[in-house]
Amino acid sequence: MTSVIPKKVDSEPQPTKNGFTPGEFHKVHVLRRVTIESVWGLLEHCPVLTLNKSEMLLEKGQTNQTMYIVLSGKLSVHLDTADREPVAFLDKGQTVGEISVIDDSPGTAFVRAAEKTRLLSIDEETFWRLVEASHEFATNLLLILAQRLRANNSKIVEGVQRRIRLEREASVDALTGLRNRRWLEVNLDRLAQRHRCGGTSFTVIMLDVDHFKRVNDTYGHAAGDRVLSTVSQTILNSLRPTDLASRYGGEEFVVILPGTALDDGMIVAQRLRQQVGGQEVDCRDGRVLPPVTISLGVAMLGDNESGKELLARADGALYRAKQNGRNRVERDGDD
């Protein structure tokens, strides 16, 4: 590329025929600390465009060899479609299109006028001549690109954190902090299949708070929520790190015991029953409720059995525990 030295200007330049003024020059971010005399001979020939509100400047996937400087007005940036809410705005003094000029890549977003906007249009050849003519211009350009890279990285991190938070919220019960029924339905078959393939036992406990409606009717729903929170915390404190617990719905819970046979599952269930039955409930309003009791049903995964079928057998054992007087443990297969 032939290097062109801009003509020397002895006094403050006059506005160009398209209306670009020295006053606007000094407000452009990429021209900060750039002496006007060093580049005015290049800029005075650049056209000034006017876009009406909503008029498109750049389209995603479109080839672009021009950097645009916003002289007045405002541009909006849209990612997926031009009709979506903008992800950013570009105000007076900011630039757009320089990345496509540098790496000869198509645009990655839609850019349109958010209001009536004037733009200085700098073509690819003039852009590189500006880089050659002014060290300050090149330095400003690098700083702008670095700032955009940091902003993009921050958005990526925020997006990952938001996705993790949403995934957690979608799989965790808000009241108890345990995994919810949706998580259980999505993951139980996978967990069961893993232990079936590994040749290890897999047992579940389904449990229910006895006379929970009576608790709500007597002490109120806020007290009922405290009962459920206390029961769930007692369950968590009683399990091994490899065990899992889920709120199945209402006052019903499911405990998953990987690598545990039925007899050992009965021992765990009895321990849970005793510990819940010995735990008072602090309502955090000065009231302390007497302990509640729970009924439990235990079942172990059978050959070629689905997670849904396993839960149904544990639920059947739980039903017998409640029918036989509550505050007890029953195992699948016992009549």
| Of 309, 271, 273, nearest in space to 291 by CA | 273
Choice among 98, 251, 252, 305 that is catalytic: 251
**Which residue from 63, 66, 61, 57 is spatially nearest to 86, judged by alpha carbons?**
57
> Domain count of the chain?
2
Give catalytic status of residue 251 as yes or no: yes
Is residue 274 domain-resident? yes
Q: What is the CATH number of the domain that holds 98?
A: 2.60.120.10
Task: Say if residue 11's pLDDT is above 70.
Answer: no
> Average of pLDDT values for 146-167?
65
* Tokens, residue 290: 């007497």
272-320 pLDDT, tens digit per residue, is: 999 999 888 888 787 888 999 999 999 999 988 899 999 999 999 999 9
Residues 262 and 300 in one domain: yes
**Spatial CA neighbour of 177 closest among 241, 242, 253:** 253
Instruction: Evaluate whether residue 5 is within a structural domain.
Output: no
Q: What is the mean pLDDT of residues 167-178?
A: 80
Give the domain CATH number at 317.
3.30.70.270
Residue with tokens 């172990």: 300
pLDDT computed for residue 120 by the predictor: 93
Domain match, 227 and 135 both: no
Residue 1 has pLDDT above 60, yes or no: no
Q: In this structure, are residues 109 and 58 in contact, taking their beta carbons and an 8 Å threshold?
A: yes
**104 with 188, same domain?**
no
Q: What's the pTM?
A: 0.55
What average pLDDT is seen over the chain? 87
Q: Which amino acid is at 244?
A: L
What is the pLDDT averaged over residues 153-172? Answer: 64
Q: What is the DSSP letter of 86?
A: P
Q: Which domain holds residue 316?
A: 181-331
Q: Percent of the chain scored above 70 by pLDDT?
A: 88
Q: Are residues 324 and 185 in the same domain?
A: yes
Q: How confident is the model at residue 125 (pLDDT cuts 50, 70, 90)?
A: very high
Q: pLDDT tens digit string along 220-261?
A: 999 999 999 999 999 999 999 999 999 998 999 999 999 999
| Same domain as 74, residue 211 | no
Same domain, 151 and 119: yes
Which conformational region is residue 135 in: left (phi greater than 0), alpha (psi within -120 to 50 degrees), or beta? Answer: alpha
Pair (126, 220) in one structural domain: no
Q: Does residue 8 lie in a domain region?
A: no
Same domain, 132 and 188: no
Cα gap 197→145, rounded to integer Å: 52
Q: What is the mean pLDDT of residues 4-16?
A: 54
Is residue 15 classed as helix, strand or coil in its secondary structure? coil
Q: What number of other Cβ atoms are within 10 A of residue 151's Cβ?
A: 11
- 229 shares its domain with 151: no
- Can you tell me the distance from the alpha carbon of 224 to that of 210, in angstroms, rounded to the nearest whole number? 12
Q: Are residues 85 and 188 in the same domain?
A: no
